[in-house]
Amino acid sequence: MPTPANTRGDFSGSTRIIRDPGTAARTPFPGNLIPAGRLDSIGVKVAAFYPVPNVPGQPSGNANFRTNGSTKEPSDVYVGRLDHVFNAANRAYGRLLTSAGGPVDSPVWATPGTDPFHRTRENGYYNAAGTWFHNYRPALINEFRASFDRRKFINRVGSAYTNLNQTLGLKGVNPQFGPRVTVVGYAQIGEGSNHERLQVPIWGIHLVNHVLWVKGTVPPRAVPDAAPTGGHLGFDDGMGRHQGYRVVHVA
């Protein structure tokens, strides 16, 4: 982070040479001090977003600020299921699955939307599925499956709808959002992903019909089966460790 003096144009305590871009030879500013009249009014407001360094002994722009951030990530999932046998020839199954989760990376600087971490995401969905079995006769069975899902994904930077651009006086941009500013040697101002990504709604419909018709006599048999059901498998680029495992089931 820059020091409070740096944000006012005072780099007298820095080993960096601050040069005047308005001169042909880019001569250094006397005393490493940028005159107040040369500071951009919007730049001064943006620089004020930086928090005061809190790590003693660390110079400007060198890991001189530490704080704790928080991420809220609700992951509640609700499931409802119904099985019903109508008669010897008809039975049905239905399920409803829903979740309204979405992580929120809380701000870690005083002004929300100005630090490089603050953002919100919404990732809710509804999924309804059902299966109907109908036995025409013992050797002829029909299975019909249907599923429907509706999902949304929204990603927003922390400055979304804060009118930060308008407050700063930035022209030619959406006034409801905030800027993303990169200053070499210092932390970025503003979160680095899409300002706003909207995927609403995302629809899915799946219909499947199976017919099982058994002809003749089928002798009993046992068939072994093995398939991956989960786990983790990871590799590196050959410069370090690699590890992993795989879980299988056998039936």
| Res 228 pLDDT > 60 | no
pLDDT given at position 220? 63
pLDDT of residue 55: 94
Report the C-alpha gap between 167 and 111 in whole angstroms. 12
Say yes or no: 96 and 217 in one domain. yes
Same domain (yes/no): 73, 42: no
Identify whether 195 is part of a domain: yes
**Do 138 and 21 share a structural domain?**
no
Q: Are residues 108 and 27 in the same domain?
A: no
pLDDT tier at 218, thresholds 50, 70, 90: low
Let me know whether 1 and 60 are in one domain. yes
Q: Residue 13 pLDDT more than 50? A: yes
Domain count of the fold of the chain: 2
Instruction: Identify the pLDDT of residue 221.
Output: 60
Residues 81, 62 share a domain: no
Give the pLDDT score at 137.
92
For residue 211, give its domain range: 69-221
Q: Is residue 191 part of a domain?
A: yes
- The answer on pLDDT for 229 being more than 50 is no
pLDDT at 227 exceeding the cut of 50: no
- Point out the domain boundary residue: 66, 83, 103: 66
Task: Specify the pairing of strand 196-213 against strand 71-72.
Answer: unpaired
Are 44 and 136 in the same domain? Answer: no
Same domain for 47 and 75, yes or no, is no
Q: Are 94 and 59 in a shared domain? A: no
Alpha-carbon span 7 to 50, nearest angstrom: 8
Q: Is residue 236 part of a domain?
A: no
> In the chain, what percentage of residues exceed pLDDT 90?
69
Inter-residue contact 55 to 65 (CB < 8 Å): yes
Buried b (16+ CB within 10 A) or exposed e, 141-154: beeeeebebbbbbb
Residue 21 domain-assigned? yes
Is 182 found in the same domain as 79? yes
Strand-pairing partners, residue 128, are: 96, 148
Give the pLDDT mean for 166-172: 94
Query: Residue 235 falls within a domain, yes or no?
Result: no
Other beta carbons within 10 angstroms of residue 206's beta carbon come to 10
pLDDT in tens, 175-214: 999 999 998 889 999 998 888 999 999 999 999 999 999 8
Residues 117 and 199 in one domain: yes
* Whether residue 201 sits in one domain with residue 94: yes
> What pLDDT, on the 0 to 100 scale, is given for residue 250?
36
